[in-house]
Structure 1
């Protein structure tokens, strides 16, 4: 938290917004090209004295007030995130089925037909996948219900677990929960989607409840999985994940282990 820096940042944004941008009249008597403090306060539905305190760095605005400032001052997503960071406030989350980030969509489209790849939220709801992933895991669920979360389906749907070699089930379960706990903590205790997912899994899966109580945490970045391909049988995959900057989305792709090992050998020969 850095409240003086927040005040300076708000002043800089205020100076860049023209009155006409927010529906205010422009006249020859204005002494500033941007918005006045009282205008920002009025548009954000706070008192002028309170806004002045915030710009002076002597008051910490709430998340709701910061959202109002971001709207009034026409902040970009990055500027809004920066304001929340300076204020020491947690940003409100997007919905469980977030809009797929354009960069993630672009990267997903660059994988070949032999590399299963997909994008999920931090609650493991699939947002998009390529044909290879659909062939391996089935179609993307059409709804945005939390029951479509891969974590939910892993613990409560035996057909999902059947995609994996049985010897890998406990490893997958432990990794899922350790990764999920980080996402849930990042969302905060007030997030309804995270809370609902944990509550329903704890109530309906003693396996989940046991592992969740262990308090393990670990982001899934790379690992090896043995999956049952519907046509080719058991295949060992080296799996990798690339997380978005805010941690809300991740691109996951599988490389058959033999191909991955051959690539590593080629790299060693080149080196």
Structure 2
């Protein structure tokens, strides 16, 4: 089943105003409302534009100027990622060049992965495709090499039963993954690969389907996650994302723990276990 989103900008603005209360923007609560959040006329008034203009913008019937989009972003209290997303959807940012659907890992990233023996690391491409990994990442998250090539995708893995058991804060991790995919939808509008991935996850998981429709976006590059690992026990790890200068669509993801902490010792134990057992595969998707 193929789905389309002909008015991504309007859907996003509608979702954001539904999250705001009149009181949060300095307006009286007034009478009982038929729908949650701000009305179109309230957003228009606060942005100093006409209600008709804002309505046509949200319905996808006109294109707004950049100053108007800035004003609406201010009214809707959009964060930096959301603001950039609105501008990109409206075509106000330089268009990213269209890419081929198939990616291969950059050679220098492959060499770096080979040299990282005590830190779990992997390379993610567009749409969170797992392009390459080191043995410790496989021991931490699962052996990517055992998956069919088409399933080596981090978003798919996050919504698997294994990841739901692995992440102590699974909902937060999953929501962040959905928001990152939503951001990529603006960068790669019309991509058959992304459309197929979203359709597949929407059909398979009701949580993904519900969170996708909230139109949240994110471009987070750092964070902390707690993992309940079956071998290493509880691990509290910081993850960091480094973007390749030679290909901005490839990111090196690293998982680390501060030296001397139980989680650091847990990673060392996991590395030792991986060396002693069937060595998890280290490789790439291509």
Same topology, TM > 0.5: yes
In structure 2, the residue matched to 1:107 is 112
Unaligned runs of 5+ in 2: 1-93, 262-286
Alpha-carbon distance between aligned partners in 1 of 2:119 and 2:256, rounded to the nearest angstrom: 6
Deviation at 1:151, TM superposition (A): 0.8
In 2: Cα distance, 1:136 partner to 1:158 partner: 15
The correspondence of residues 168-187 of structure 1 with structure 2, limited to 5 A, is: 168-187=169-188
Aligned to 2:41: none
* Contact 1:119 1:251 (C-alpha < 8 Å) held by counterparts: yes
SS of aligned partner of 2:155:
helix
Partner of 1:70: none
Contact persistence 1:239–1:254 (CA under 8 A): yes
1:163 matched residue in structure 2: 166
Determine the C-alpha separation between the residues in 2 that align with 1:247 and 1:209.
28
Deviation track 1:11-40 (CA, whole Å, cap 9, x = no partner) reads xxxxxxxxxxxxxxxxxxxxxxxxxxxxxx
Q: Is the 8 A contact 1:125 1:149 kept in 2?
A: yes
How far apart, in 2, do the equivalents of 1:123 and 1:149 lie? 8
Counting only pairs closer than 5 Å after superposition, residues 252-267 of structure 1 correspond to structure 2 as 252-257=253-258
Higher relative contact order structure (alpha carbons within 8 Å, sequence separation ≥ 6): 2
Residue deviations 1:107-166, cap 9 Å, x none? 32332x221111111222212111211111222245431x332212322x212221211x
TM-score (norm 2): 0.53
State the partner residue of 1:136.
Answer: 140
Equivalence map 1:203-242=2 (5 Å): 203-242=203-242
Mapped to 1, the partners of 2:113 and 2:186 lie a distance apart of 27
Partner of 2:99: 93
Alignment partners' CA distance in 1, 2:121 and 2:256? 9
- The number of aligned residues is 169
Root mean square deviation of aligned Cα: 2.6
Rounded to whole Å, the distance in 1 between the matches of 2:260 and 2:130 is 26
Distance in 1 of aligned mates of 2:111 and 2:104 = 14
Partner of 2:144, secondary structure, is coil
Query: Can you give the 5+ residue segments of structure 1 that lack an aligned partner in the other structure?
Result: 1-87, 261-271
Q: 1:127 to 1:176 in 2, by over 3 A?
A: same
Structure 2 match to 1:202: 202
Give yes or no for contact 2:163–2:170 (8 Å, CA) kept in 1.
no
> Normalized against structure 1, the TM-score is what?
0.56
Residue 216 of structure 1 aligns to a residue whose secondary structure is coil
Give the aligned partner of residue 20 of structure 2. Answer: none
- Which aligned segments of 4 or more residues in structure 1 are displaced greater than 6 angstroms? none
| SS in structure 1 of the partner of residue 157 of structure 2 | helix
